[in-house]
Chain A
Amino acid sequence: MMSGNFRSASVGWVVLVCLVPYRTLTSTDAAPICTNAQAGCHVLSLANLFDRVIQHSARMHGISNDLHSEFEQYFLPSKNQIGRVGRNCHTSTILTPNGKENAQRMAREELTEVILKLLVAWRDPLWHFHQNMAHHQHGFTTFSSDKALEMSDMVHELRKGVEKVAEKMQLLGMMSDSVSSQASSEALLPPDSAEWRLMKEYDLLYCFRRDSNKVQNYLKILQCRIVPEHGC
C-alpha cells in the first residue's frame, strides 16, 4: 500500500516535472507577449505607437519640404516645367486615395498597406539621392546633404514603425492578418520601379514631398479611426 501510494506520487511528480519545461519551451518559441501588467516589459499602447509614428512622419515631411524649397531656390525651374506633361513620380503606379471620401472608404488593412508600399518604394531612391548629393555636391551645402541622409534614414525607420503598428493592430484583433509582414514587404515594390533612376533630383524631391504628405495624412486617418480619443 505504501509502495503503491509512493509510486503514484512519484509518477505524479515526474509528470509535473516533465510538463513544466515543456510549457516553458512552448512559451519561448513564440515572441514574448507583453501585457500592461507584466513587469520588465516596456509596453507601448497603440495610441502611443500611433503618436510616435505620426510625429515621425511629420518630421520626415518637414525635411522633404525644406529640401524641396532649397532646390527651388538654387535651380529656379520655370513654372512651366513643374506642370509639364510627362513628369511622373515612380510611385504613381501605387493607387492612393486622392480624397477624403476615398481615404475613409478604404479599409484599415488597405490603407496600412498603401502606407507601407509608399515607404518601401522610397527607400532606394532616397538612398541614391543622398549618395549623389554627397559625391557631386551640385552646389548643395553639407546641410542639405545631411538632410538627405536624415530623410533616407527616416523612411527606413518609419517603415519599421508602421510595421510595428500593424503588428500591434493585428495583435489586438483590430486588423486582419492580410497586411504583409516585414518579410514580404519587398514584394510590394512595383516591378518596373527602376524608372526613378531617370528622375532628376528636383522631380524626385517634388514627388517625395507629396508622398510623405500622403503617408502622414493616411496615418492620421488611421489613428482617428482606431484610437479616436487622442487628438482627433
Chain B
Amino acid sequence: MMTNVWEAVVLLLLPFLAPNAEGTQYSPPGKPALTRCRSPEKETFTCWWEPGSDGGLSTTYALYYRKENSETVYECPDYHTAGENSCFFNKNDTSIWVNYNITVVATNALGSSFSDPVDIDVVYIVKPNPPEELNVTIMEDKGWPYLRVSWKPPQKADTRSGWITLIYELRVKLEGEDDWEMHLAGQQKMFNIFSLRSGGSYHVQVRCKPDHGFWSEWSSADYIKVPDYFHREKSMWILITVFSTFIFLIFMCFLHMNSNSLKYYILPPIPGPKIKGFDKQLLKNGKSDEIFCALVVPDFPPTTSSKCENLMVEYLEVYVSEEQELILEESKELHNSLKCEGSTSDNDSGRGSCDSHTLLMDKCGEAKGDERQTDGEGHPMEMEAQMHQRDWKEGTLSSAYQDIVSPDMSSGRVKTWPSVFSPLHQCGSTSLNQMNSLAMAKQHCLSDNLSPPGSASSFLPQSGRSTTETHRPNYCEFYSSDKQLSSPKPQAQTHRKLQAHSDINISHKQAGLQSPALRPTEYVEVQRVNKEDMVLLQPVESGCVCGDGCPQVCQDYSKVKGLNSDNMLLLHRDVMEGEEVRSHCEKQETNGCITSHITPATQKPTDCIPTVTPIVQKEMGLAVSGYVDTAAMLTLPTH
C-alpha cells in the first residue's frame, strides 16, 4: 500500500522533478519586429522582420497589412522571393501614395504574438540599386590628362519616363590610400575628374538616390591607371630652376659690382655738420682758437643799410690785453690763412634764420648802409666788408658782420664782438620787452654761432652775448623798419652808432662791465669817409691784407678830433683826408631811432644825445690819442 502511494507520488511528481536539460519550456513565440521595408524602384517593395524567440516550438510568421482608409486585412502575397523572414509586394499589390499598416504575427503551437505595426508609404522608402556600367577613361586636355567617368542608372529604376528622378554621387581614391574624394554629380550620368597624379592608380565608385529616399549601395569599383606625364613636368621644373638660378647669379653680380653706389642710394650718408668753417681736423688738433677763427665767416652778418640819417659815427676804443693780443694775432693769422684759402664752408650752413645773410637781406629790405664792425676780428671783417661791397646797390657801403664766434670768447674778450652784432635798436618805438622777447625768440640763432664765453667771470662777454642776443633782433627789426627810412646810407652810420649805443646801454644795464680785462681789445680803423659824412670803420689789422676795393687799408686809425656841441664825435683821418666827419643824430628824423652817439651808460637804448654826451665827453678825456675806447666807455659807470 505504501509503496503504491509512493510510486503514485513519484509518478505524479516525475514530470516536475525531471531535469529540464533536454526538455524545452514551450511557450508562445516571442514578439517579432519589422526591421525595414524597401522599394528599389517605387513599384514594388519588400519588408523584412526579425523573429523573436520561437518558444521552443515551430513558429510560423505571417504578415498582414492594411491599406489606408480600408479595413480589409491582406496577407503578404509572397514570402519567398525576398528570402527568409521577408514579404515581397509585387506591382499589383503596391500602391504609391498610400499608407500601409503592416504587422507580423508569429504563431506556434502555444500561441501567437503580434509585432508592432508599422506605417509606411512606398514613396519614402525607395532605395534604388547601384548604378550600372561604370566606365572610367582617360582623356587629355591640352596635354594634361583627366578622368572621364560615366555610368548608367540601375535597370529597374525607370528614369526615362520620369517616374523616378535620381541624383548621383561618385568617389575616387588612389590605390593604397584610405581617403575617398567625393563628388556630387547631380542628375548627370557623366563626370570629369582633374588634378590627377601622374602614374597613379585610381579607384572609382558611384551611387544614386531618389529625391526623397535612401542612397544606394556603392557600385563595384572601376580601376584605372594614369599614364606618366611626370617627365614633362619635371623637365619644365628643371628649366625653371636653371633659369631662375641664372638670373639670381646675374643679380648678385650686379649687386656686388654696384654695392657702393647702391649703398649710397639706399642709405644716403648723413650730412655732417655744415657749420661754415667748421674743420674736423682743427678739432682734432685741439686748438680751440683756431677752430673758432676758422668759423669766422667773412660775409656774415650781412650789412645793414640803415635808412636812418643823421647817424653819428661812433668809434669804439678797443683795448687789447697782452694775452689777448697774442690770441688776436693768432686769430689774425688764421683769418689770413682763411682769407687766402677762401671760405670752404657753406654760406648758409650752421646759421640761424636771423644770421643768414640772405634772409636778413630779404627781411630787412635792400641792403643798406655801410657798416663797419667796430670790433673787428681783423681780416675777416674787412674781407666781409669788401665782399659786401659788391652786393650792395650803392656800392659805397660795406658791411662787416660776423656771426662767428670770436676767438676771444674763450678768453673773455668778447665785448667788441657782441657790439658788432648788436645792431640796431628798432627804428620806431621799441620797448625793452619787445627786445627781450625777440631775443628770446632768436636766441637760438645766436647760440648756434656763439661759443659760450670761456670765463663765466667775465661779465662782459656774457653781457656782450646777451646784448648780442638782444640786439640781434633789434638788428633784424631795424632792417625791417628800414623801409621807413629814407636814405640807406646814413643808416649805416646810425647802425653803427646804434650799435655801440645799445652795446653800451645794455652792458651798462646789466652792470656787468667793470673789469678792465673785459675791455674790447680790438682796434677799429676808419677805412674811409664817404661823401655823406659816414665813417667807414673797419677792424684794425696788423697785417695789411686787403681785399678788393679796399684802398685805404691798413693805414689809418681814426682819430677823434673832437666833440662838438651837438654831441658829435669829430673824426679825422690822419693819412688821407682831414675831413671831419659828422655823425648825425638820427633821432630827429626817425622816431625812436637811436642816435649814433655812443652812449655806454644809457638806461634806455633809445635814449639819444643826452645820455651820450656826458659819457662821450668823459671819453673824450680818455681818448687822448683820438681813439675811442669802448672799453673805457663800458667801464665808465664804475668810475
Interface residues in chain A, defined as those with a beta carbon under 8 Å from any beta carbon in chain B: 58, 61, 65, 79-80, 82-83, 85-88, 92, 96, 98-101, 103-104, 210, 213-214, 216-217, 220-225, 228, 231-232
Contacts and interface: CB of A to CB of B under 8 A. Distances in A.
B166 to A, nearest CB: 11
Nearest to B42: A100
Given A83-B117, A83-B119, A100-B43, A214 B97 contact: yes
B123 A213 contact: yes
B318 to A, nearest CB: 103
B94 interface: yes
Main secondary structure, interface of A, reads: helix
B98 interface: yes
Contact of B162 (A96, A214, A224): A224
Contacts of B94: 99
B68 interface: yes
A213 B212 contact: yes
Contact of B69 (A92, A213, A223): A92
Given A79-B117, A210-B123, A220-B162, 4 more contacts: A80-B117, A82-B99, A96-B97, A98-B97
B117 A210 contact: no
Contact of A225 (B69, B161, B187): B161
B71 to A, nearest CB: 7
Nearest to A96: B97
Contacts of A80: 117
B91 interface: yes
A99 B159 contact: no
A25 to B, nearest CB: 44
Interface residues on B, range: 20 to 34
Interface of B: 42-43, 66, 68-69, 71, 91, 94-99, 101, 116-119, 121, 123, 158-163, 165, 187, 211-212
B69 A85 contact: yes
Given A83-B99, A85-B69, A100 B119 contact: no
Contacts of B69: 85-88, 92
Given A58-B211, A83-B101, A98 B95 contact: yes
Nearest to B120: A83
7 contacts: A58-B211, A61-B212, A85-B69, A99-B91, A100-B42, A100-B163, A224-B162
B457 to A, nearest CB: 95
Contacts of A103: 163
Given A99-B96, A210-B97, A82 B158 contact: no
Contacts of A220: 162-163, 165
B119 A221 contact: no
A224 B71 CA distance: 37
B98 A98 contact: yes
Given A79-B117, A83-B68, A83-B117, A221 B97 contact: no
Contacts of A217: 162-163
B156 to A, nearest CB: 12
Contacts of B99: 82-83
Given A58-B211, A82-B99, A100-B43, A221 B161 contact: yes
Contacts of B162: 217, 220-225, 232
Contacts of A79: 116-119
Contact of B95 (A88, A99, A210, A232): A99
A88 B211 CA distance: 26
A228 B99 CA distance: 31
A139 B410 CA distance: 99
Nearest to A213: B123
B41 to A, nearest CB: 9
Kindly name the residue among B71, B116, B119 whose own CB sees the greatest number of chain A CB atoms within 10 A. B119
B43 A65 contact: no
A83 B70 CA distance: 10
Nearest to B71: A85
A119 B1 CA distance: 92
A95 to B, nearest CB: 12
A197 B155 CA distance: 44
Nearest to A103: B163
A66 B163 CA distance: 23
Contact of A213 (B91, B97, B160): B97
The list of the 4 closest CB pairs from A to B, nearest first, reads A224-B162, A220-B162, A83-B119, A83-B101
Contacts of B165: 220
Given A82-B119, A85-B69, A213-B212, A232 B96 contact: no
A99 to B, nearest CB: 6
B482 to A, nearest CB: 86
B163 A231 contact: no
Contacts of A210: 97, 121, 123
Nearest to B165: A220
A98 B119 contact: no
Nearest to A220: B162
A101 B66 CA distance: 22
Contact of B43 (A87, A99, A232): A99
Contacts of A96: 97
Given A87-B69, A213-B123, A232 B97 contact: no
A105 to B, nearest CB: 12
Contacts of A216: 211
A224 B123 CA distance: 19
A66 to B, nearest CB: 12
Contacts of B118: 79
Contacts of B117: 79-80, 83
A229 to B, nearest CB: 11
A202 to B, nearest CB: 14
B187 A231 contact: yes
